[in-house]
A and B are shown apart, each in its own frame.
Chain A
Amino acid sequence: MKQFLVFVRKEFLHAFRDRKTLLIMFGLPIVQIILFGFALTNEVKNSKLVIVDPSRDEASQALTNRIRSSKYFDIYREAMSYAEMEAAFRSGKIKAAIVFPQDFNEQWKHLNNVQLQLITDGSDPNTGRTIQNYLTAIINDFRNDRVNNGNAQVLIHPNIRMLYNPSLEGTMNFVPGVMALVLLLVCTTLTAVSIVRERELGTMEILLVSPFKPVYVLLSKAVPYFILSMVNLSVILLLGTYVLNVPVKGSVSLLLLASALFILTCLSMGLLISTLAKTQQTAMIISMMGMMLPTVLLTGFMFPIENMPVPLQVISNIVPSRWYYLITKDVMLKGLGFSAIWKELLVLGGMTVFLLLFSLKKFNNRLS
């Protein structure tokens, strides 16, 4: 037991004295979370727009105020000419523009056909379309309110709401995805590399000759990375809650428990890779490159699995992060309990046992 503790301490020393390890361990998740959370987001928040309003009457002002009060739009300027609006588009300062007709209020009162021009920046079609939808929704809302107040007629207006992510916030799905991706990459890579390093440096020869059992070598390698990964997970969760506003809706302890299981799966995957790779570089490439692509593609957070060709759907079943992603989505975003995720937990547990047994069997107590 004392040997085990000393070994674990040694692994911590390795981890803390190697800047590269620390950078991978804690830099990667923070960068990923921030990248996915902010830079790669496809949601529209605080988009700047201009209002061209030659009429400046009661109705146009009311609509302008309503847009202004929405958190999705900031009014960059008002009452500009066409030319000014175009210049603002060109310089990229604004994403959209609303052009009122000369006699907006008159049209509103006397015609049943009100004209309004809505212009968006098409150079980023996805964002453009989203902004268009948002603005249309605001305008429709506005029209309905007005019509209702005048009691002219009751219009049936479909009230569309997206469950779990009412404002289609992209970051919500990204947080569980990044958690799955980062934990898988970090745990697998670090475990694999740390074992292969012993072999490459020749220290494994001494470890094997010592009375310390090879199985314990593997276990004591896994413990520090398990603990560091749990710390890592907490960092991601805190970042998610306080920086990206994606709190854990369900039970935090259930999420931590499921994550612990997933980390174990990844660690045993790292063990397996370490028994296959001869050099640290190979181990790094297998675990970084070999894991990165399937994880990103087949986990489901970038591309929905249901839309994939059947063979890929089948393959995605053996990607552990796919199951973990389902668990985190259920617990974090939907606030579901154990009954909703026990199947996924079972799959992860099975994978862990299989990987562990397989790599222990492959781990030689001699030099091959």
Chain B
Amino acid sequence: MISLVNISKTFNRGALKALSGISLEAKSGELFGLIGPDGAGKTTLFRILTTLMLPDSGDALINGLDIKKDVTTIRSKLGYMPGRFSLYQDLTVDENLKFFATLFGTTVRENYAQIRDIYIQLEPFKNRRAGKLSGGMKQKLALCCALIHRPDILLLDEPTTGVDAISRKEFWEMLARLKADGITIMVSTPYMDEANLCDTIALIDQGRILSIDTPGNIVRNYPRPLYAFKAKNLYRLQQDLRLHENIHSCFAFGEYLHVSFRDESAVSLPVMAKWLEENGHQEIILKNQTPVIEDCFIDLLKH
């Protein structure tokens, strides 16, 4: 279990607020996601949890151990994968794995079961230098190295950033399997679509938590109906809608615009369609839209 109470951290003698009053709780065996853009404070939060940094104020417990006092014990129970690829590029896959296994006081053979599913994919490249692996393979190797000592808690800082779509999918499947083994996992990501794969997510921006809940609840709590608009000229459509006095929000999502209204009673889709036609838009499609995490994030940012 990971619990944080009112954690704050500033840099440059207080000039830069990285985290302000973060409180959250990740239950044992849970896959907990920290969702937020770059600079939200995710990495700082991980460094505090891994005891690499001290918070300015607040308390944090990992499996009941204090991050300020029980540094050594906590470090032995953690598997940590930093944001950047942090293995030795000039050592081979096997050498990296053996090195980290020994460093954590174990052997690859002893804990092979733990990493087998992931390692099988790496095996064909075991004599290749880590620096020469593809992005997805690098992350798999890093995950292997983080898992090799059977940690109770896995902290993964943006493991899928810069990784292709297929490898990202595979990576999340692995996390699901690890969760099934009973490991508590905290993972951060800037990709909103990955949020749905977590049990609980914390939406975080500029060092503040916007919301903590299951992905389903967060979506369900979206405060107003949402619509998807499309027209031939999407850019002009967005420009025109933003000038409309009853539009609450209007953001581009792929080929559609996600639109919500200030006063639901004052408009209807046919009325909007007519208004757009009068403004010279063609091939207009208007329909209802279920909100996604990103809609919620944008909405929460407005408050």
Chain A residues in the interface with B (C-beta under 8 A)? 2-3, 6-7, 10, 13-14, 17-18, 201-203, 205-212, 365-367
Contact = CB atoms under 8 A, between A and B. Distances in A.
Contacts of B47: 205, 367
Binding site of A, secondary structure by majority: helix, strand, loop or mixed? helix
Given A205-B50, A211-B103, 11 more contacts: A14-B90, A18-B90, A201-B84, A202-B82, A205-B47, A205-B86, A207-B103, A209-B51, A209-B80, A366-B53, A367-B47
Given A17-B90, A206-B82, A211 B99 contact: no
Contacts, number: 76
A2 B105 CA distance: 9
29 contacts: A3-B105, A6-B98, A6-B102, A6-B103, A10-B99, A13-B90, A14-B91, A201-B88, A201-B89, A202-B83, A203-B88, A205-B52, A205-B80, A206-B80, A206-B87, A206-B100, A206-B145, A207-B103, A208-B52, A209-B51, A209-B52, A210-B75, A210-B100, A211-B76, A212-B103, A366-B52, A366-B53, A367-B47, A367-B53
B122 interface: no
Contacts of B103: 3, 6-7, 207, 210-212
Contacts of A18: 90
Contacts of B95: 10, 13
Interface in B94-135: 95, 98-100, 102-105
B86 A201 contact: yes
A10 B50 contact: no
B91 to A, nearest CB: 6
B75 A209 contact: yes
Interface of B: 47, 50-54, 71-72, 75-76, 78, 80, 82-91, 95, 98-100, 102-105, 145-146
Given A210-B75, A367-B52, A205 B82 contact: yes
Contacts of A211: 72, 75-76, 103-105
Given A13-B95, A18-B90, A202-B86, A3 B102 contact: yes
A119 B98 CA distance: 72
B121 to A, nearest CB: 21
Nearest to A200: B84
A206 B86 contact: yes
Nearest to A366: B52
Nearest to A210: B103
A152 B267 CA distance: 136
B99 A6 contact: yes
B4 to A, nearest CB: 18
B24 to A, nearest CB: 21
Nearest to A13: B91
Given A17-B90, A18-B90, A209 B78 contact: yes
Nearest to A2: B102
A49 B146 CA distance: 74
Nearest to A207: B103
Nearest to B87: A203
Contacts of A2: 102
B261 to A, nearest CB: 47
A306 B114 CA distance: 68
A170 B290 CA distance: 87
Nearest to B155: A209
